[in-house]
Homo-oligomer: A and B are copies of this chain.
Amino acid sequence: MERALASVDRGLDPERVEELYLATLGFSGWQLGNSSAIAVEELGRPGLPSVRVENACASGGYALRMAVDAVASGRRDLVLVVGVEKMTDVSNARRRYWLGVSGDTEWERLAGLTFAGVYGLMAARYAAEYGPVREALSEVAVKNHANGALNPNAHFQKGVSREQATNAPTVAAPLGLYDCCPVSDGAAALLVAAPSVAHEYTDSPVYVVGSGAGSDALAIQARASMTRIDASRRAADEAFRRAPFDRKQVQLLEVHDCFTIAELLALEDLGMTPRGTAGRLTLSGATRIGGRLPVNPDGGLKAKGHPIGATGVSQAYEVFLQLRGQAGARQVGGAERALTHNVGGSGASAAVHLFSVSAT
């Protein structure tokens, strides 16, 4: 939070922050309920209104959505969005439970199906419908590890080769070790301001020009397809409905690649490429930094890490850096319009936001 407050180009009095939106699953067992009050204490603003927003792995995207509403409604001029997760201070068994409660309980968790298992099923079905996908999955891992190596805040800052990714130990077939995001601790924060206020603090704000959300059944068995996440499509449809640019004009994406297959699905669900073609697009190099449609320049969930509540917030943070030309070694040249995509569970919810360097 302190770094977010210090990130403005001209000094910001923390007392001007009017409300705090906290995204967290809170599964470290430390403070499971009422945790937004703790965030306020940490900020040293004991009276500040605060609220916790929880939609599993999409908590961050939804917290941003609520914050944007608060400003757009005229109720607030300057609010803080914080996403945080401390995942490494509990045992593996306990963590599996706490993660599991964000998936379906009856049909998935109690039957022993983990998130890797659900995405493994999706990947297998995707291959059955569209042909071999292993090389494309590995290329997602290679690309995101390469990007993460350029990001000093990434969990993994080292590359992997196509061979390493392809021949890695199986986690949930066909997904291997390098197809899965790690267990990470992390936090991210954003300041969301009315345009007039933003201009007090910077001459180069990043505008949120679209917000969309969508849902679907919690259990994958109840969904229309295993090779789509319809919640993502619905969220994108809403975000683009009133946006000042269309899908073709997006220059940079941060998508929810909790597993490599999820990045391929996202590109199709968001309407960036036709069904069944995301693998080919990826293998062409188009989604690398320097390609025609860079995806996850910060390393994505795969390499940057996936501290649940923080993820959706950190996606917007990456876009903020990129659109201001402050992304250093991983800078995407000339990016002015970007999209973030954050998924809850295995697709029960999704939030999509659109960003631009200009308000219209």
A52 part of interface (Cβ distance < 8 Å): yes
A218 and B69 contact, CB distance less than 8 A: no
Pick 7 A–B contacts, CB within 8 A, sort by A: A25-B33, A47-B215, A47-B230, A50-B55, A52-B53, A69-B70, A69-B72
Q: Knowing A25-B33, A48-B215, A218-B34 are in contact, say whether A69-B65 is a contact too (CB < 8 A).
A: no
List chain B residues, Cβ under 8 A from A218. 31, 34, 37-38, 41
Please state if A31 and B70 are interface contacts (CB–CB under 8 Å): no
**Which residues of chain B are near A53, meaning CB under 8 Å?**
51-54
Is there an interface contact between B62 and A73, defined as CB atoms closer than 8 Å? no
Contact with B along A62-92 (1 / 0, CB 8 A): 1001101110111100000000000000000
Q: Which residues of B contact A48 (CB under 8 A)?
A: 215
Contacts of A222 in B (CB 8 A): 41, 46
Residues of A bordering B, CB below 8 Å: 19, 25, 27, 30-34, 36-38, 40-41, 46-56, 62, 65-66, 68-70, 72-75, 98, 101-103, 105, 211-218, 222, 230-231, 234-235, 238, 344-345, 348-349
**Minimum CB–CB distance for A219 against chain B, Å:** 9
Q: How many copies does the complex hold?
A: 2
| The one of B73, B103, B230 that contacts A69, using a Cβ cutoff of 8 Å | B73
Known: A72-B75, A73-B72, A230-B47. A217 touches B37 (CB 8 A): yes
Set of chain B residues within 8 Å of A230, measured between Cβ atoms: 47
Residue of B whose beta carbon sits closest to that of A76: B69
Contact A54 B52 (CB under 8 A): yes
Picked from B30, B98, B212, B215, the residue with its CB within 8 Å of the CB of A37 is B215
The chain B residue with its CB closest to the CB of A74 is B72
A216 to B47, CA, bound (A): 5
Partner of A34, one of B40, B75, B345: B345
State how many angstroms separate the Cβ of A94 from the closest Cβ of chain B: 13
Decide if B36 touches A349 in the complex (CB within 8 Å).
yes
